[in-house]
Structures are given as C-alpha cells and as structure tokens.
Amino acid sequence: KYNIDKKKVLFSGQSSGGGFLSTNFVPQHAKDYQGGAFMLCGAAAPRVAFTPDDATKSKFRLHFEITTGDPIWPASYKTALVKYTAVGMNFSKDDTKPGGHCAFNQEQVILDHIDFILGKNP
C-alpha cells in the first residue's frame, strides 16, 4: 500500500519492546529489511525458529543495551546474546553502564551506535 524503502527502516524497542523485537519480530521479519534494531533495556532469545540467511546476517544489524543493575532482564539478555551469536547475526552490545532498569539515555545510545547499525562502522 505504501512505497517504503525497506533499506532505511530501523526498529527500536525499550524494555518489553526490546523483548518483543528480539523474541518475535527480528526472527520473523529481519529478512524483509536492510537496516537494524536496537534492543534497549530488554531482550530475550528468539521464541520462533530463526535461521537467518547470509544476506540477513550481513544487512540487518542489532544493538543490545542493558545496565549492570537492571533487575528485570539480565538473564534473558544473556540468553539472547548467546542465541544471536549462535545464528551468526551481526550485533554490538553494551552491558557495562551502571544503573537500574532503563536508567540510561536511550537517544544517546542510538546516536552512539547508529553508524554500526547502518553499516558505516563494521
């Protein structure tokens, strides 16, 4: 219905939004886009089958971010990283900032990692 350039679409999810992206949306739809997704203070392993092809692995990038004191997501965040590594997805992560749940400047995280997501800083 709309003429959307799928090479210019980025996704960002905070808390459960990051969980939704990592568990369902990315595994089901990353192949349809060239861009990437930010999972901010929430992530978990895919809950659907996810075997990305080489094009998806190279063209769809991910960034995972969580604080050291997050009381909600740390275990599932670690599991997500293991699973996304196992399927060969290209991602960056930061789990070194102190703070509680979503206690960081999410806009700044996107600005700091946008070049990686866009493939400008492999």
Q: What is the pLDDT of residues 25-80, one digit of tens each?
A: 999 999 999 999 999 999 999 999 999 999 999 999 999 999 999 999 999 999 99
Distance of CA 47 to the CA centre of its chain: 15
Measuring CA to CA, how many Å separate 108 from each of 8, 38, 87? 20, 12, 28
**Closest by alpha carbon to 103, among 43, 51, 40, 29?**
40
Q: Tell me, what's the pLDDT at 109? A: 97
Q: Are 14 and 42 in contact (CB under 8 A)?
A: yes
Instruction: Give dist(CA 26, CA 58) in Å, integer.
Output: 14
Q: Tell me, what's the pLDDT at 24? A: 97
**Region 89-95 average pLDDT:** 97
Indicate if the pLDDT at residue 6 is higher than 90.
Answer: no
Matching residue, tokens 């995972």 = 64
